């Protein structure tokens, strides 16, 4: 395909110097090359869809769910968390991660949304916003304000989309700090993307005074305007200043902040974190980073400065529990499962298994660990 694109570029470069007859010939050739490119792309999409069908159909279970992302098979613990719940409670289902390239997303969504064996699925960055725009998905009011979804499921005759990131963040902070610390406190959310927007809105709903600092001020302001339409107040800030590095307004707000939640990615070219955390001074704070499974410079710096630190595992846990309750609500009702009975097995999974632990090994070890899991539910 690179060869085709290169040829096309060379032809287009020489078009201006051609007479009308040659121009017509070149246009015919370019049309052929474009057609070849489209056919190649179409074949790649078909191959990916065939691989996904194979994964679903080869599952020995009655129904499946899963995770869409760029490469969740290389790091995500969602598979082990959900599959432990299925094994522990005897639910005939399996959770499967799907690696999906950006230009194949819409085709894969079309496939999964019409797959009868699939009850629903999760979506991770960077596909939350694009998934929310799919015409077949009915997005709830909160997710519409956020602009993205991380959970899609079939309900009666509809396909519904939700965001559970905000819920996961709130439960994570409350669970690790041992108290309700959101209401009445100053919250700083770093980043106005899908996760940052969800967390900021959730904190505002809980009564926090929320500020969102983003590299692009316009994106933070847009979130603030959408939140206002939802009846919530979020103050937008610019993270950077061309003259001083971090903006003065951001630095002033940071000193007054009680809770700092980092949702910023690393800088793509350098791999450097967009906020290192050296500026975390003043009173003791609660600091959370939504990343898990690899190093967080932000939390390392915060820990050295004596702040309470929460990594992304616990947000992952609680957002997954909420997503499970959406997708498997009929099974939960049938078995009479409580939130605690879903959380316990997932917590055990996230603390006892690596992301790539085979399902067969998980099943053996869970059967041996039933007593330990049951005691954690009390």
- pLDDT tens sequence across 104-128: 899 889 989 988 899 999 998 889 9
Kindly state whether residues 253 and 200 are assigned to the same domain. Answer: yes
Kindly state whether residues 321 and 308 are assigned to the same domain. Answer: no
Segments in the chain forming alpha helices (H): 2-14, 20-58, 78-89, 105-113, 128-132, 141-146, 165-177, 194-205, 217-229, 248-255, 297-304, 313-327, 329-335, 339-352, 359-368, 370-376
Cβ 83 vs Cβ 359: under 8 Å: yes
Which of 77, 128, 285, 322 is catalytic? The answer is: 128
Kindly state whether residues 308 and 187 are assigned to the same domain. Answer: yes
Total domain count for the chain? 3
Residue 171 belongs to a domain? no
Domain that holds residue 4: 1-13+20-58
The pLDDT value recorded for residue 317 is: 95
Residue 264 belongs to a domain? yes
Low-confidence residues in the chain, pLDDT < 50 = 1-23, 25-26, 33, 36, 38, 41, 267-271
Kindly state whether residues 342 and 233 are assigned to the same domain. Answer: no
Kindly state whether residues 197 and 308 are assigned to the same domain. Answer: yes
The pLDDT value recorded for residue 152 is: 96
pTM, whole model, 2 decimals?
Answer: 0.82
Kindly state whether residues 310 and 334 are assigned to the same domain. Answer: no
Domain with residue 124: its CATH number is 3.40.50.10860
Residue 170 belongs to a domain? no
Strands 259-262 and 186-190: parallel
Kindly state whether residues 184 and 286 are assigned to the same domain. Answer: yes
Kindly state whether residues 220 and 291 are assigned to the same domain. Answer: yes
Instruction: Give 84's DSSP letter.
Output: H
Kindly state whether residues 320 and 309 are assigned to the same domain. Answer: no
The pLDDT value recorded for residue 149 is: 93
Strands 118-123 and 151-155: antiparallel
User: Which of 275, 290, 314 marks a domain boundary?
Assistant: 314
Residue 270 belongs to a domain? yes
Segments in 189-247 forming alpha helices (H): 194-205, 217-229
Residue 256 belongs to a domain? yes
Q: Is 60 helix (H, G, I), strand (E, B) or coil?
A: coil
- CB contact set of 204 (below 8 Å; sequence gap of 6+): 210, 227, 232, 233, 234
Kindly state whether residues 292 and 196 are assigned to the same domain. Answer: yes
Residue 115, judged by CB atoms within 10 A of its CB (0-12, 13-18, 19+), counts as middle
* 304 part of the active site: no
The pLDDT value recorded for residue 376 is: 80
Kindly state whether residues 186 and 309 are assigned to the same domain. Answer: yes
Kindly state whether residues 282 and 364 are assigned to the same domain. Answer: no
At 226, list the tokens.
């959408």
Residue 275 belongs to a domain? yes
- pLDDT tens sequence across 187-212: 999 999 888 999 999 999 999 999 99
Q: Is 295 helix (H, G, I), strand (E, B) or coil?
A: coil
Domain with residue 272: its CATH number is 3.40.50.720
């Amino acid at each position: 395909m690179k060869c085709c694109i290169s040829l096309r570029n060379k032809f287009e470069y020489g078009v201006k110097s051609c007479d009308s007859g040659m121009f017509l010939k070149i246009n015919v050739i370019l049309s052929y090359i474009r057609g070849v490119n489209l056919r190649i792309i179409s074949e790649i999409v078909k191959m990916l869809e065939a691989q996904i069908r194979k994964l679903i159909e080869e599952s020995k279970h009655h129904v499946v769910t899963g995770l869409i992302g760029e490469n969740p098979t290389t790091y995500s613990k969602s598979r082990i968390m959900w599959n432990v719940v299925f094994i522990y409670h005897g639910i005939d289902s399996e959770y499967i991660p799907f690696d999906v390239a950006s230009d194949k997303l819409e085709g894969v969504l079309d496939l999964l949304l019409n797959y009868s064996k699939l009850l629903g699925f999760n979506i991770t960055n960077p596909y939350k916003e694009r998934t929310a725009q799919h015409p077949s998905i009915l997005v709830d009011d909160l997710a519409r304000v956020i602009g993205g979804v991380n959970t899609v499921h079939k309900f009666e005759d509809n396909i519904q989309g939700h965001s559970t990131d905000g819920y996961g963040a709130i439960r994570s902070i409350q669970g690790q700090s041992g108290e309700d610390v959101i209401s009445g406190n100053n919250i700083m959310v770093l980043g106005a993307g899908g996760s940052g927007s969800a967390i900021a809105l959730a904190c505002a709903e809980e009564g926090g005074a929320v500020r969102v600092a983003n590299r692009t001020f316009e994106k933070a302001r847009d979130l603030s305007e959408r939140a206002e339409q939802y009846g919530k107040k979020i103050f937008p800030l610019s993270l950077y200043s061309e003259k001083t590095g971090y903006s003065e307004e951001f630095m002033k707000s940071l000193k007054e902040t009680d809770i700092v939640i980092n949702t910023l990615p690393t800088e793509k070219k350098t791999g450097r974190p967009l906020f290192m955390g050296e500026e975390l001074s003043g009173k003791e704070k609660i600091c959370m980073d939504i990343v898990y499974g690899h190093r967080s410079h932000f939390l390392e710096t915060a820990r050295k400065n004596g702040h309470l630190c929460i990594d992304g595992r616990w947000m992952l846990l609680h957002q997954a529990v909420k997503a499970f309750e959406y997708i498997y609500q009929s099974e939960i009702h049938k078995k009479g499962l409580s939130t605690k009975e879903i959380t316990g097995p997932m917590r055990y999974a996230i603390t006892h298994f690596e992301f790539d632990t085979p399902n067969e090994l998980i099943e053996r070890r869970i059967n041996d660990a039933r007593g330990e899991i049951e005691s954690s539910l009390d």
